[in-house]
Amino acid sequence: MRIKGLIWLDEIIDKLARKHHVNQREVLEVLTNRPHFRFIEKGHRPGENVYAALGETKDGRYLIMFFIYKKDGRAIILSARDMTSAERKRYEES
């Protein structure tokens, strides 16, 4: 999967910082550090499905982020948080 750009919604940026203590830089680091992508569910619009990207930040934080992959190659960020222990184990095994 090739992501050509990110679409950030202000309410999502605020939620990531407030609830999950994740900032935009960390999301970008995950996406540029060979993340593992996983299909989550079909989207409401044809061809725009929800995916997860699992990866590590430069500081060694393991994050999972959820996004809608748009037809034009951009991603709408929906959420990002620390991986659970099960997600991290699966990430490290792949």
State percent of the chain over pLDDT 90. 93
Residue among 58, 55, 52, 51 nearest 35 (CA):
55
pLDDT value, residue 94: 84
Segment 62-92, tens digit of pLDDT:
999 999 999 999 999 999 999 999 999 999 9
Phi then psi for residue 13, to 5 deg, are: -55, -45
pLDDT value, residue 89: 96
pLDDT value, residue 88: 97
pLDDT classification of 47: cutoffs 50, 70, 90: confident
Instruction: Tell whether pTM > 0.85.
Output: yes
What amino acid occupies position 9? L
> Quick one: average pLDDT of 50-62?
97
**Contact predicate 22/90, CB 8 Å:** no
Terminal Cα-to-Cα distance of the chain (whole angstroms)? 16
Compute how many other C-beta atoms are within 10 angstroms of the C-beta atom of residue 51. Answer: 20
